[in-house]
Amino acid sequence: MTASIATSQTILVVGGGISGMTAALEAAECGKQVILVERNATLGGRTALLYRYFPKMCHPTCGMEINLRRIKANRNVRVMTMTEVLEVKGLRGDYTVKLKLSPRYVNSNCTACGECAKAVDAEIDNPYEYNLAKTSAAYLPHNMAYPMHYVIDPSIIGTSDADKAKSACRYDAIDLDMKEETVEIKAGAVVWATGWKPYDAARIQPYGYDRFDNVITSVEFERLANPHGPTGGKLLRPSDGKEARNIAFIQCAGSRDENHLRHCSRICCMASLKQTHYVREAYGDDAKSTIYYIDIRVIDRLEDFYQQVKKDPAVSFIKSKVAKIVEDKEGNLVLHGVDTEGYHRYATTHDLVVLAVGMEPETNGIKLPEDMLLDSSGFIEGSTLPEGAEGIYGAGAATSPLDVNRAAQSATAAALRAIQVVHKTSTVEGAR
Amino acid sequence: MSELNQKAVALYGNNFLKEVTERVEDGEWVSMCMQCGVCAGSCPLGPHWEHSPQKIFRMIMAGKRDEVLTSDSMWMCTSCYSCIVRCPRKLPITHIMHGLAHYANRLDVAPKGQPTRELARVFWNNLIKTGRVNELKFSLAVYFKDGFSQGIKNLLSMQVIALGLMKAKRLNPMEIIGGHKCKDVGGIQKMLAKAQEIEARRQIS
């Protein structure tokens, strides 16, 4: 298997989120051979977990579906899920990459019928719901999963649950003897699109994310608003299931803070403005959203979206970084701080607090190729090699905090750079 | 207006931010403030003083020289460091507040009779005489700082504690004459004079 995918004209794309999928498709549709590796069991990354996109308020299902169709239709892309990059060695045009393949315990016979999930008793925290809900230990990541195959969580391997799943399967799709594998592939160029992760909100001590049930993050709020999410799209607070009508959004939760993330995460202002739409949709004129901010930073043409939200009487803006949050007996949250416009001291009660958490690059915490140059936040800035000698390119949110639109632009640019590398090596075999 | 203050005004005119940047300890940080307000919200004494650090920094940027230097807010800081811990730009806010207080004191424009300022002054004058704090003289000086009759009232209200301290040998009445001192008083005073000389070099002379 290793031999058949090894070629110096191959482009390796690391990360199967919106950036990785875009980079892989752009290169593949130009006729290049592409290997797209993804650590999780499905493509789609964090984009697939959003409820809606800004500014058009359309659903990610739509854009994802188009991309998945393109992938299915293109024989130049080879998708490897549950695969991590262990090591990248070599030079531009001639890389040897070591990949670790984790066992899914389900093979391609799977029809996603769901019988195994019904048979299994054990439950795990669902990582695709940011742990807000449980799921069966035999699970389909989400409705847009690609490949559309179930996964058996390694925690039940060797238990009777695993045998129950196997006997429930009518298609002989469950293979409990799958083992972890390490394979080596050759690639001429690498696109590094490992994306981002939400900043660990528990580290912002005064906001009490780890202590108060009703303090949640913006990515969790996306799940609450989603009809396929843990609450069926109702905005219910985690502590008591009560409808959250009076919601506070705290901007710069972790971002623009030397104690946490020193960069501006750029998307959080738009994300919170977008989320005020969810609140209005849920409750109409009964909705109340309050945005606590340092500055509203909506980029260029998105300013119009901000102006529209500003006109909504259900949304108020308070220019202040909240100093601390205190929980009252009913589980409501009292926000303390000083309003910069007039220096008024406030202590305001809300049903639910949504922390607009910053984007931390996923490059923090994974092993990277040695010649990758990172900025002070950990985003990929470029290469440590002299210009023209590099063959690994960052793409999407791995390079800078980007929204979906800009991530796709960045990925397309990275694909073009990678294509230029393999073009060169295809004429001069083994050069550089 | 003190001579130093006149010189400072002549030198910097309306540019108070520049004056603070160059003359106040850690003052160069002030222009880094982005007015998020987390210091004001975090200050445990916040509701009890007029100008929060956030407000003071904005006033400096706006050139409100007299209002800043005569404010009593810097003198209210208890150095709890909550603001420094939470400041997203890592401004040494506590130190800046003390730097401003020191500068206002030096120019002799700090609020007259402000209790914490008076306490600091009495403490300092007491300490530099012998190199040791004479607690008896220090307490008396604090009690009588607002006049003789108030001093007597203060004394009477504290007499039970004073007698208790004496009984426990924590307060020596003989300290009223001279009192204990460090081994080399002259050396301490020379050291302080040198420190003042170095400080004066940084300041407007």
Please indicate if any CB of chain B lies within 8 Å of the CB of A324.
yes
Q: Which pLDDT does position B63 carry in this prediction?
A: 96
Q: Which pLDDT does position B199 carry in this prediction?
A: 82
Give residue ranges of B with CB < 8 Å to any A CB.
34-38, 40-42, 46-47, 52, 54-55, 85-90
Compute the average pLDDT of residues A176-180.
Answer: 95
Please indicate if any CB of chain B lies within 8 Å of the CB of A427.
no
Tokens coding A155:
């925690």
> Per-residue pLDDT tens for B115-128?
999 999 999 999 99
Reply yes or no on whether the pLDDT at A344 is more than 90.
yes
B37–A339 C-beta distance less than 8 A: yes
Chain B CB contacts of A293 below 8 Å: none
Q: Which pLDDT does position A4 carry in this prediction?
A: 31
Tokens coding B1:
């207006």
**Is the domain of B7 the same as that of B107?**
yes
DSSP string, A295-325: -----GGGHHHHHHHHH-TTEEEEES---EE
Q: Which pLDDT does position B179 carry in this prediction?
A: 84
Separation between Cα atoms, residue A288 and residue A248, nearest integer Å? 8
Q: Which pLDDT does position A262 carry in this prediction?
A: 95
Tokens coding A423:
């073009």
Residue A264 CB coordination number (10 Å):
17
Q: Is B78 left (phi over 0), alpha (psi -120 to 50) or beta?
A: alpha
Q: Which pLDDT does position A1 carry in this prediction?
A: 33
Domain boundary among B111, B129, B162: B111
**Is the domain of B45 the same as that of B99?**
yes
Contact yes or no for B53/B20 (Cβ under 8 A): no
More reliable by pLDDT, A237 or A2: A237
Chain B CB contacts of A258 below 8 Å: 87-90
Of B38, B47, B89, the CB nearest to A323: B38
Alpha carbon of B146 to those of A114, B49, B114, B119: distances in Å? 84, 22, 11, 12
Please indicate if any CB of chain B lies within 8 Å of the CB of A264.
no
Contact yes or no for A408/A63 (Cβ under 8 A): no
Domain boundary among B111, B144, B173: B111
**Is the domain of B13 the same as that of B89?**
yes
Contact yes or no for A219/A227 (Cβ under 8 A): no
Query: Å from B91 to nearest chain A CA?
Result: 10
User: Count of domains in chain B?
Assistant: 2
User: By CA distance, what is A253's nearest residue in B?
Assistant: B88
> Confidence class of residue B178 from pLDDT cuts 50, 70 and 90?
confident
Reply yes or no on whether the pLDDT at A131 is more than 80.
yes
CATH number for the domain spanning B61: value is: 1.10.1060
User: By CA distance, what is A347's nearest residue in B?
Assistant: B41
Of B47, B85, B86, the CB nearest to A345: B47
B47–A323 C-beta distance less than 8 A: no
User: By CA distance, what is A346's nearest residue in B?
Assistant: B41
**Is the domain of B104 the same as that of B125?**
no
> Confidence class of residue A317 from pLDDT cuts 50, 70 and 90?
very high
**Is the domain of B63 the same as that of B148?**
no
Q: Which pLDDT does position A9 carry in this prediction?
A: 87
> Per-residue pLDDT tens for A10-67?
999 999 999 999 999 999 999 999 999 999 999 999 999 999 999 999 999 888 899 9
**Is the domain of B121 the same as that of B68?**
no
Whole-model pTM: value is 0.90
Reply yes or no on whether the pLDDT at A201 is more than 70.
yes
**Is the domain of B94 the same as that of B22?**
yes
**Is the domain of B8 the same as that of B100?**
yes
Q: Which pLDDT does position B4 carry in this prediction?
A: 87
Of B34, B35, B86, the CB nearest to A206: B86
Q: Which pLDDT does position A2 carry in this prediction?
A: 33
* H/E element, A368: none
> Confidence class of residue A424 from pLDDT cuts 50, 70 and 90?
confident
**Is the domain of B121 the same as that of B179?**
yes
> Per-residue pLDDT tens for A240-290?
999 999 999 999 999 999 999 999 999 999 999 999 999 999 999 999 999
Share of chain A above pLDDT 70, in %: 96
Domain boundary among B61, B89, B111: B111
> Confidence class of residue B84 from pLDDT cuts 50, 70 and 90?
very high
Compute the average pLDDT of residues A280-306.
Answer: 93
**Is the domain of B102 the same as that of B132?**
no
Boundaries of domain holding B190:
115-201
- Give the β-pairing of A352-357 and A246-253: parallel
Q: What is the ipTM of this complex?
A: 0.85
Query: Å from A131 to nearest chain B CA?
Result: 29
Reply yes or no on whether the pLDDT at A428 is more than 50.
no
> Confidence class of residue A229 from pLDDT cuts 50, 70 and 90?
very high
A337–B55 C-beta distance less than 8 A: no
Residue B171 CB coordination number (10 Å):
16
Chain B CB contacts of A338 below 8 Å: 37, 40-41, 46, 52, 54
More reliable by pLDDT, A140 or B45: A140
> Per-residue pLDDT tens for A209-223?
999 999 999 999 999
**Is the domain of B97 the same as that of B182?**
no
Q: Which pLDDT does position A377 carry in this prediction?
A: 95
DSSP A103: P
Tokens coding A154:
């390694």
A-B Cβ pairs (cutoff 8 Å, strict) = 63
**Is the domain of B125 the same as that of B196?**
yes
Reply yes or no on whether the pLDDT at A7 is more than 90.
no
B88–A343 C-beta distance less than 8 A: no
Q: Which pLDDT does position B205 carry in this prediction?
A: 58
A258–B52 C-beta distance less than 8 A: no
Work out the end-to-end distance of chain A between its first and last CA atoms, rounded to an integer number of angstroms. 26
Q: Which residue in A20, A407, A357 sits closest to A197, CA to CA? A: A357
Of A258, A339, A345, the CB nearest to B89: A258
Of B37, B46, B52, the CB nearest to A321: B37
Alpha carbon of A238 to those of A154, A248, A283, A351, B64: distances in Å? 28, 15, 18, 11, 48
A336–B37 C-beta distance less than 8 A: no
